[in-house]
Amino acid sequence: AWGESDASGPFALVFYSNGYYVHVNKIGIEYGTYNWNSSTGHLISSVIIDNNGGGGLSDWDPNTPGNYSENDTFFVNEDTLTVIDGDETSIFKRVIHKTSTIITDTDDDGVPDQWDKCQDTPKGLWTDKSGCPASGIYTIEQMNQAVLKERMKYDPDLDGVIDLKVAIHALQIITDTIVETSDPVIPEKFSMDWLRGRTLYQAWYGSFEDSNGNYLSKVPVVVKVFFGNDDIATATGLMNFNTDSGNYNVDANSGLLYFGGDSSEGNKIVCGSTSQYIKTHYLKNGVYNNTDLYFFNEIDAMNSAALWGGQIPKCNTE
């Protein structure tokens, strides 16, 4: 993983040995495949997802996006990546070593050693996000479920290799934005008191109109929603969504969150929420229509939605 800054600000660029790469900046993420000749330094990439504005490999050469001329070379010398793009030379520093993508968890508390501040936690103790003992009494089942949940944040397929979280953490390192926060409290149902003043990132897979007025079908959608104290919600499209605003309200009995005064459809909290998001069902006249997730931060929302290829599973207990 390599770090540097461009017009969009600090970014991280990760090359995987299986031929895939990830570029992450403050705007979003770019994901694709690459082929690199280590002898000549020549690199060719093919973009799969591009939601990071003007940054990333796909935008390096505006004349031939994703394909580099013979003058564009990438050379690695220990912890330095040198890129020669015509008359320009850029130097990038390594922020995460290639071997650190393998998960090690010495005390088996569910927090990888790379981010574990207490690597000798006695077995069986509940830990917080930093890997240190947390207060409170929990059942064995609760601990087991929490450990599994923590592992899946960094390794969703549980194959022992950190996936896109490597890029996210690299970005945090070079922007110095790593902060320790406690898990958010997930409400049993929405309420106006809980929503007022909050910013959430609503994400779903389905259909909507993008910022250019194009109707899109079967796409991931991400919207930044600020719930104002004046009961006005401001929705800013981040992925496949236009910008909008309007009234929001909550049915006090059912906890149904609805917009624009139409209480016949809206979002209701269901099972399956995590420390990253609140899971909801989008209901129309009380009938299930779709599954929406309300993320607590933008990076998690964008990173997750970029990988969706179909509708998010519903909660079968509802």
Instruction: Please answer whether residues 314 and 281 qualify as being in contact, where contact means their C-beta atoms are separated by less than 8 angstroms.
Output: yes
Is position 167 within any domain? no
Q: What is the pLDDT along the chain (318 residues), one digit of tens a residue?
A: 777 655 556 777 888 777 778 887 767 777 778 888 888 888 888 777 777 666 677 765 544 444 444 457 888 888 888 887 766 777 888 766 554 444 566 777 666 676 678 888 777 666 666 777 765 544 455 555 555 565 555 555 555 555 555 555 555 544 444 443 445 678 899 999 999 999 999 999 987 766 666 777 888 889 999 999 999 999 998 888 878 889 999 999 999 999 988 889 999 999 888 888 999 999 999 999 999 999 998 888 888 888 787 888 888 765
**78 and 93 assigned to the same domain:** yes
Question: Both tokens of residue 301?
Answer: 């929302």
Nearest-angstrom CA–CA distance, 221 and 42: 35
Nearest-angstrom CA–CA distance, 215 and 62: 27
Q: What is the CATH number for 298?
A: 2.40.128
**280 and 221 assigned to the same domain:** yes
Closest by Cα among 68, 297, 89 to 203: 297
Q: Which amino acid is at 182?
A: S
Strand partners, 9: 6
Question: Both tokens of residue 303?
Answer: 């990173």
Domain-terminating residue out of 77, 98, 119: 98
Closest by Cα among 206, 179, 181 to 281: 206
Which of left, alpha, beta for 107 (phi over 0: left; psi -120 to 50: alpha)? alpha
Please tell me the pTM assigned to this model.
Answer: 0.46
Is position 38 within any domain? yes
**113 and 90 assigned to the same domain:** no
Is position 112 within any domain? yes
Is position 62 within any domain? yes
Please give the pLDDT value at position 287: 93
**231 and 261 assigned to the same domain:** yes
- Reduced to 3 states (helix: H, G, I; strand: E, B; else coil), residue 234 is strand
Phi, psi of 236 (to 5 degrees): -110, 115
**153 and 115 assigned to the same domain:** yes
Domain-terminating residue out of 83, 98, 113: 98
- Please give the residue range of the domain that contains residue 124: 103-160
**40 and 63 assigned to the same domain:** yes
Is position 183 within any domain? no
**241 and 300 assigned to the same domain:** yes
Is position 11 within any domain? yes
Burial class of residue 12, CB neighbours in 10 A (0-12, 13-18, 19+):
buried
**81 and 123 assigned to the same domain:** no
**116 and 89 assigned to the same domain:** no
Domains contained in the chain, number = 3
DSSP-assigned letters across all residues of 17-54: TTSEEEEEESS-EEEEEEEE-TTT--EEEEEEEE-STT
- Reduced to 3 states (helix: H, G, I; strand: E, B; else coil), residue 305 is helix
Is position 317 within any domain? no
Instruction: Please answer whether residues 282 and 291 qualify as being in contact, where contact means their C-beta atoms are separated by less than 8 angstroms.
Output: yes
**204 and 292 assigned to the same domain:** yes
**111 and 152 assigned to the same domain:** yes
Closest by Cα among 89, 123, 127, 101 to 16: 101
Domain-terminating residue out of 160, 180, 208: 160
Burial class of residue 61, CB neighbours in 10 A (0-12, 13-18, 19+):
middle
Q: Which letter does DSSP use for residue 151 in this model?
A: H
Is position 89 within any domain? yes
**67 and 127 assigned to the same domain:** no
Dihedral of alpha carbons 169, 171, 174, 176, sign: negative
